[in-house]
Amino acid sequence: MKEYSSATSYKIDQPSVVTIGTFDGVHVGHKAILKRLVDSAAKEGMVSVLLTFFPHPRMVLQQGSDIKLINTISEKKELLSRTGLDHLVVHPFTAEFSRMTAVEYVRDILVHALGAKKVIIGYDHRFGRNRTASINDLREFGSLYEFEVEEISAQEISEVTVSSTKIRKAIEEGDITTANQYLGYPFMLSGVVVKGKRIGRTIDYPTANLLIKETYKLIPGNGVYIVFSEINGSLVYGITSIGTNPTVGGKNKTIETYFLDFNEDLYDRSLRIEFIARIREEETFETMADLKDAIQKDETFARNYLKNFG
Ligand SMILES: Cc1cc2nc3c(=O)[nH]c(=O)nc-3n(C[C@H](O)[C@H](O)[C@H](O)COP(=O)(O)O)c2cc1C
Ligand SMILES: Nc1ncnc2c1ncn2[C@@H]1O[C@H](COP(=O)(O)OP(=O)(O)O)[C@@H](O)[C@H]1O
């Protein structure tokens, strides 16, 4: 899969099948649509193109919008690269871009820049300034500019929407099992390991504190989870605490992972943790000894879980 940072930097002079959308989560429902795109392109001897926008239109159009997404843009790129898609165009969504009329958008972006000969699109897709144009308008533009429009049914769109809603809700509630089932892969957090309060090591549970720079990334609800990471090419399991660490008087939400059977400096390293299951809620303990006992129990729980399901 090749990536382009705007429609104008896409310079492939070949007829294409194009799909447009956010595809947040790249979940099972999205994959069915992407398979259709890729299969259709292969059948017609064309290239497959996904046109997506970044930042998310709502981040740009609704000032102060607190939209949270299942994937960061780089996670999405990686997930999409596994689908067989030929070209991913991440077009910058700006206030100026949002003011393009429907005809300008279709002519300049879809037809001239991307070479669309076929557009596969949801029955309810809307586009152009103030989202005034519909799939019927797109069909009319199609006869003018010689591309075909293939509609994704209401049922398929509703499956996609239901999945996205369920995944978001499940992640917020810490229900990783449900989220992973709809995603078709383990939910992940990616960031850099930063210094914390250095308390972890004093109770023999050093924790790598993950800083996620993308403030729009959806973070699972507070609690303790079983996770895994790839560190130096090896699979390492861990237990992650997400929360404010009330026992040590913390205020900010942190994401801290103790890796099992591991002892290495991780500061400043890029790290991705992938979620397997939830163990428990975050609690406030009376003493550090009680906290340490609880973490020991979490560790035992995780080791048993991994022995049975790993
Ligand atoms: C598996 C695990 C479970 C944890 N559970 C809780 C908890 O329930 N309540 C809490 O206040 N802190 C909990 N903590 C967080 C500790 O308070 C925190 O890791 C410790 O303060 C170390 O912080 P530091 O990395 O800044 O040194 C947990 C940490 C781990 C690794
Ligand atoms: N098994 C391990 N799991 C997590 N971090 C570890 C482990 N072993 C060593 N470390 C290192 O210890 C650091 C965490 O120690 P800790 O005392 O919790 O300090 P901090 O408060 O700065 O996170 C990690 O960032 C990592 O560099």
**CA-195 nearest atom, ligand 2:** 22
Separation of alpha carbons 194 and 210, rounded Å: 6
- Within a domain: 88: yes
Instruction: Encode pLDDT of 82-98 as tens digits.
Output: 999 999 999 999 999 99
State residue 221's pLDDT score: 98
Indicate whether 239 and 118 sit together in one domain: no
Q: Which ligand is nearest to the CA of 297?
A: 1
Q: Write the CATH number for 152.
A: 3.40.50.620
State residue 21's pLDDT score: 94
Q: Which of 96, 89, 133 is nearest to 113 (CA)?
A: 89
- Within a domain: 176: no
Query: DSSP letters of 160-174?
Result: HHHHHHHHHHHHHHT
Q: Is the peptide bond before 186 cis (omega within 30 degrees of 0)?
A: no
SS3 content of the chain, % helix, strand, coil (to 5): 40, 25, 35
C-alpha torsion 54→39→42→88, nearest 10: 10
Single residue among 136, 166, 196 that ends a domain in this structure: 166
- In the block, which residue shows the tokens 């896409």? 10
Q: Write the CATH number for 245.
A: 2.40.30.30
Tell whether ligand 2 has an atom less than 6 A from the beta carbon of residue 251: no
Indicate whether 48 and 157 sit together in one domain: yes
Indicate whether 287 and 217 sit together in one domain: yes
- Within a domain: 178: no
State residue 63's pLDDT score: 80
Q: Which ligand is nearest to the CA of 268?
A: 2
State residue 58's pLDDT score: 87
Indicate whether 144 and 8 sit together in one domain: yes
Pocket of ligand 1 (CB under 6 A): 196-200, 205, 207, 209, 224, 239, 241, 245-248, 256, 258, 282-284, 291, 294-295, 298
Count of structural domains within the chain: 2
Ligand 2 centroid, distance to 10 Cα (angstroms): 43
Tell whether ligand 2 has an atom less than 6 A from the beta carbon of residue 193: yes
Indicate whether 15 and 150 sit together in one domain: yes
- Within a domain: 177: no
Q: Which of 146, 151, 150, 180 is nearest to 163 (CA)?
A: 180
Residue whose CA lies nearest to ligand 1 atom number 4: 241
Indicate whether 150 and 220 sit together in one domain: no
Both tokens of 116, joined, read 């669309």
Which domain, by its residues, includes 205? 186-309
Single residue among 101, 131, 166 that ends a domain in this structure: 166
State residue 65's pLDDT score: 82
Tell whether ligand 2 has an atom less than 6 A from the beta carbon of residue 196: yes
State residue 250's pLDDT score: 87
Single residue among 138, 166, 194 that ends a domain in this structure: 166
Candidate of 248, 290, 296 to mutate for ligand 1, largest count of ligand atoms within 8 Å of Cβ: 248
Ligand 1 centroid, distance to 289 Cα (angstroms): 12
**Do 72 and 25 contact (CB within 8 A), yes or no?**
no
State residue 310's pLDDT score: 63
Q: Which regions of the chain are under pLDDT 70?
A: 310
Indicate whether 190 and 88 sit together in one domain: no
Instruction: Encode pLDDT of 173-225 as tens digits.
Output: 999 999 999 999 999 999 999 999 999 999 999 999 999 999 999 999 999 99
Task: State pTM to two decimals.
Answer: 0.95
Both tokens of 131, joined, read 């989202």
Ligand 1 centroid, distance to 281 Cα (angstroms): 12
**CA-265 nearest atom, ligand 2:** 27
Q: b/e map of 65-92 (b: 16 or more CB within 10 Å)?
A: eeebbbbbeebbbebbeebbbbbbbbbe
Indicate whether 226 and 277 sit together in one domain: yes
Indicate whether 127 and 63 sit together in one domain: yes
Separation of alpha carbons 274 and 271, rounded Å: 10
**CA-199 nearest atom, ligand 1:** 27
> Long-range contacts made by residues 157-162, C-beta under 8 angstroms, separation at least 24?
157/122, 157/123, 157/124, 159/29, 159/32, 160/27, 160/29, 160/30, 160/33, 162/29
